[in-house]
Amino acid sequence: MAVHTQKGQIQQIFTSEDIRTPRQEYPQGFGRICADRRGFLQNAGLAALGAALGAAIPFYRHFPTGLMPIAFAQDTGAELMKEKDGLTVLSDRPLNAETPAHLLDDDITPYSRLFIRSNGLIPQTAIDKNAEGWALKIDGVVNEELSLSLHDLKNDFENVTLALVLECAGNGRAFFEPGASGNQWTVGAVGCPEWTGVRLRDVLQKAGVKPSAVYTGHYGNDVDISGDQDNVVISRGVPIEKAMEPETLIVWAMNGKDLAALHGFPLRLVIPGYPGSASQKFLTRIWVRDQIHDGEKMGGHSYRLPAYPVAPGTEVPEADMEILTVMPVKSIVTAPATGSNVSAGQATEVRGHAWAGNGDVKAMHVSLDFGKSWQEATLESPRNKFAWQRWRANVTPPEKGYYEVWARATDMNDVMQPPVTPGWNPRGYGNNMIHRIALFAQ
Ligand SMILES: Nc1nc2c(c(=O)[nH]1)N[C@H]1C(S)=C(S)[C@@H](COP(=O)(O)O)O[C@H]1N2
Ligand SMILES: [Mo]
């Protein structure tokens, strides 16, 4: 039995002799306290835990049922992060990491460079790659409740592969003033992998959506950071119209491989154009609702914006908050890396990606003179709707010195990225200010 700690992997720490059976000590069952639904604590006790921690637990008799030692609160073992490359870890309990802009240059974001956003613990089923008996339940206002296995999904519906942008609604939070609490994402909580699965629409149509349906509610099997299995980590949803869009998918594969543990093994939603939080990982249930979904993180200040513009720092009553749906137009400079040296008087290619929550980006511009003048960049069409679009431009610094490349996308409704942070909001969502990189001309 392997246990991951922050320090790495500890293996085979449990011997049957030195394990005190937790069920005897804690009749209510220690089994429920672990991230693992089958729980190593069902098999191992506090003595073993002490061994794993590298220290005895003198007060073990007082350790409350329903908790696990915080030292084990996240499986951030080297194991999980092994194939991630160059990500910046923002928090490790739960695990959150973003990608530096220059590592997002690929048209299709590889596994190694996709950001990680976890609200809770990575479920043991994902870590073990154990999809045995996995069932996706479709219920609520439908004609027929469904329980679908992975096999059913793969075989009973048309399989679709699309490149789709996934972006955390809090991407850019770090730039708001005053700051907002939460992960301090800069620009790298976004990526565009290729996903394979089925259309949510096809699955919902098989269940038969009743006319009273207005919203979906999504559930996964991840567990709260406290280890309390009764807490729902996150359960968001989307308007039924969005659920019915042909690019809204239930997927089991990313870039041609089974979903990784960090990205929702064995099944997740990908709902492009909407906050990443709608794209439930470790998906077990879609509840079709006849009202706006009121699951965990649908209310309060979570993923909601003030219904009217507010001065930065304003305390906005919860009643005045509205759900953030369509993500704003945005772009990123992926080459050169910020701070690069380039040649004065010579053309340098700058490039990146642009995307918008309401579909295709219409135009892309860059500035080398702090926004005084703008030059149009070439902009490729997306390989499919909601894939990001490659843009390129040549810029020529006229003489030696310090320059910035400012990149600005314009969406189909002629809405442009702002040069400064847009509408301040209590939790720092939807920051689509233009991305800037520094260049030194030699
Ligand atoms: N079950 C579950 N689904 C989840 C989350 C989560 O914590 N648990 N985080 C959401 C958020 S806020 C985002 S931005 C995306 C991140 O997906 P990724 O970690 O694959 O990049 O997953 C979403 N789906
Ligand atoms: Mo997110």
pLDDT tens digits along 344-362: 999 999 999 999 999 999 9
pLDDT at 7: 33
Closest ligand 1 atom, residue 264 Cα: 20
Task: Give the pLDDT mean for 44-54.
Answer: 66
For residue 385, what are the contacts with CB-CB under 8 A and spacing of at least 6? Answer: 247, 272, 359, 360
Q: Is the same domain home to 198 and 275?
A: yes
Distance from residue 77's CA to the centre of ligand 1 (Å): 19
- Which of 168, 195, 285, 327 has most ligand 1 atoms within 8 Å of CB, for mutation? 168
Contact 405, 369 (CB under 8 A): no
pLDDT at position 317 over 80? yes
pLDDT at residue 239 tops 80:
yes
Identify the domain containing residue 335 by its residue range: 330-441
pTM for the model: 0.85
Answer for the pair 21, 30: CB distance below 8 angstroms, yes or no: no
Q: Is residue 292 domain-shared with residue 181, that is, in the same domain?
A: yes
Tally Cβ neighbours within 10 Å of residue 354.
28
226 and 91 assigned to the same domain:
yes
Mean of pLDDT over the chain = 88
CB contact at 8 A, 191 and 171: no
Tell whether the model's pLDDT for residue 76 goes beyond 80. Answer: no
Position 237 pLDDT exceeds 90: yes
pLDDT of residue 400: 95
Give pLDDT, residue 99: 97
Question: Tens digits of per-residue pLDDT, 287-308?
Answer: 999 999 999 999 999 999 999 9
Pair (115, 251) in one structural domain: yes
Are 68 and 88 within one domain? no
> Are residues 101 and 241 both part of a single domain?
yes
The reply to whether 290 and 163 lie within a common domain is yes
Q: What is the pLDDT of residue 78?
A: 64
**Residue 39: which pLDDT band, with cuts at 50, 70 and 90?**
very low
Distance in angstroms (rounded) separating the CA atoms of residues 220 and 136? 10
Residue of 93, 118, 165 best suited for mutating to test ligand 1, as the one with most atoms within 8 Å of CB: 118
* 8 A C-beta contact, residue 193 and residue 278: no
Work out the pLDDT band at 11, boundaries 50, 70, 90.
very low
Strand partners, 353: 332, 390
Both tokens of residue 288? 């079709």
The rounded percent of the chain whose pLDDT value lies above 70 is 85
Domain count, the chain: 3
| Other CB atoms within 10 A of residue 200 CB | 26
Whole-number Å distance, alpha carbon 211 to ligand 2 midpoint, is 30
For residue 3, name the pLDDT band (cuts at 50, 70, 90): very low
Last residue of a domain, one of 323, 358, 392: 323
15/220: higher pLDDT: 220
Name all residues whose Cβ lies below 6 A of ligand 1: 114-120, 166, 168, 220, 222, 233-234, 263-264, 276-277, 279-282
Cα 164 to middle of ligand 1, angstroms: 15
Q: Is the pLDDT of residue 31 over 80?
A: no
DSSP labels, 329-378: PEEEEEESPTTEEE-TTS-EEEEEEEE-TTS-EEEEEEESSTTSS-EEPE
**246-269 pLDDT, tens per residue?**
999 999 999 999 999 999 999 999
Q: Would you say residue 6 has pLDDT above 50? A: no
